[in-house]
């Protein structure tokens, strides 16, 4: 969603998570962009690991679940915990930051209307 175009204010926790995944420069590019983020671009940025055609979703999901089912649950939990622990010093301050406004009250209605009606 083109949040800057709509006047949506990105909370620190969201911007931080995005920065951790794609880097600060790319995070800013995504947050400043006025266009919808396509699946292909999301994959190039590293936000999506796999693209699947609509007709192949069920088969791809079954394949993924089967692969995960063959892995030790304890190993998966430990890997997730280890990654989260390493990111905690960077992620935690943003999680504790006050939320603030979600949108600019002076611009939001006009910008959403413009977006929905495709006017500049």
- Predicted confidence (pLDDT) per residue in 46-105, tens digit: 899 899 999 999 999 999 999 999 999 999 999 999 999 998 888 888 888 887 778 778
Q: What is the distance between the alpha carbons of residues 93 and 97, in angstroms, rounded to a whole number?
A: 6
Domain residue ranges of the chain, discontinuous segments joined by +:
3-116
pLDDT of res. 120: 55
- Whether pLDDT at 119 is above 60: no
Give 57-116 as a DSSP string. Answer: HHHHHHHHHHHHHTS-HHHHHHHHHHHHHHHHHHHHHHHHS----SB-TTTHHHHHHHHH
């Amino acid at each position: 969603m083109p949040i800057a175009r709509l006047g949506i204010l990105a909370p620190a926790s969201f911007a931080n998570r995005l920065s951790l995944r794609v880097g600060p420069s790319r995070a800013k590019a995504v947050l400043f962009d006025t266009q919808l983020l396509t699946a292909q671009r999301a994959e190039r940025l590293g936000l999506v690991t796999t693209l699947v055609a609509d007709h192949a979703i069920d088969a791809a999901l079954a394949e993924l679940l089967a692969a995960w089912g063959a892995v030790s649950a304890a190993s998966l939990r430990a890997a997730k915990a280890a990654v989260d622990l390493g990111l905690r010093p960077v992620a935690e301050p943003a999680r504790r930051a006050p939320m603030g406004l979600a949108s600019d009250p002076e611009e939001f209605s006009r910008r959403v209307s413009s977006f929905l009606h495709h006017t500049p």
